[in-house]
Amino acid sequence: MRKKVPKRAEAKLLKEKATFLRIVARALKIASEEGLAALTIGRLAKELKMSKSGVFAHFLSKETLELATIERAREVFVSHVLPSTELSQAGITKVWSLCDHWLKHIEQEIFPGSYFFNGAFFESAGQSGPIPDRIREVIQEWLDGLKRAVKQAQKEGDLDGDVDAERVALGLNGLLLGGHWAHLLGDYQALTETRAAVMNKLHGLATDKISSKAFRSVRTFRGYLEDRRP
């Protein structure tokens, strides 16, 4: 039988968890706007009006703090981008949804300042260790999901089965990143144009199973995909 936790001890655990989440939330905001290098125990303590020892007790090291921040960033990213892989979606619909959700999370500024993993990846490029390794793993997780969606679309007969799924995934990711960079540079039509570019990329890969009329515009394509839903 599981031993019941005394109410006082349970309340303490809940308070500690709430404090931990509060610290990580602020750390994620700082890292999104200024990069992981901007994170320090002292800064977090000052901004959250806590003692340094109080913050330190939750992480014990800057590396642990950064890893916790990366894990929280991954949770946020997955919750906003990867739900589009729901079982009801298949084929070209899934590929489009992944790209569309990725662009939406930029438009909605889910990560304040920028796309968290974009900055973190470049910040840690060429480095080794737990932090750079974990950042690369999360980015690879996204690329692998996109590649699986392309392969599934090929299996469904929506996309040309002779093309390299990994190359297609990398190409689509390149369009997304390029649109994001243009957006950050002040081109506020960039993300709209990126959607059109993604659609055109898929048009070039689509089989005769999908009418070319579906690709007349992003709006037309959305309508076509909606009609395909089971």
Distance (Å, rounded) from C-alpha 127 to C-alpha 139?
15
Topology (CATH) of 69-228 = Tetracycline Repressor; domain 2 (1.10.357)
Distance (Å, rounded) from C-alpha 146 to C-alpha 144?
5
Confidence (pLDDT) at 124: 85
% of the chain exceeding 70 in pLDDT:
91
- Give yes or no on whether 7-68 and 69-228 have one common fold: no
Q: Is the pLDDT of residue 85 over 80?
A: no
Distance (Å, rounded) from C-alpha 36 to C-alpha 116?
9
Distance (Å, rounded) from C-alpha 202 to C-alpha 82?
19
Q: Which residues of 115-136 are buried (b: 16+ CB within 10 A; e: fewer)?
A: bbbbbbeeebeeeeeebbebbb
Question: DSSP 3-state assignment of 188?
Answer: coil
**Superfamily designation of domain 7-68:** Homeodomain-like (1.10.10.60)
pTM over 0.85: yes
The answer for residues whose C-beta is within 8 angstroms of residue 10's C-beta and 6 or more apart is none
Distance (Å, rounded) from C-alpha 116 to C-alpha 104?
14
% of the chain exceeding 90 in pLDDT:
65
Domain ranges of the chain: 7-68, 69-228
| Plot region of 157 (φ>0 → left; ψ -120 to 50 → alpha; else → beta) | left
Q: Is the pLDDT of residue 219 over 80?
A: yes
Q: If you average pLDDT over residues 176-195, what whole number do you get?
A: 94
Distance (Å, rounded) from C-alpha 217 to C-alpha 230?
23
Least confident residue range of 17-26, 106-115, 202-211: 106-115
The answer to whether 101 touches 172, Cβ cutoff 8 Å, is no
Average pLDDT along the chain:
89
Q: Is the pLDDT of residue 158 over 70?
A: yes
Confidence (pLDDT) at 126: 82
The answer to whether 92 touches 51, Cβ cutoff 8 Å, is no
Half-sphere exposure of 40 (CA within 13 A, CB side): 4
Residue 2 DSSP one-character state:
P
Confidence (pLDDT) at 133: 94
Q: Is the pLDDT of residue 54 over 60?
A: yes
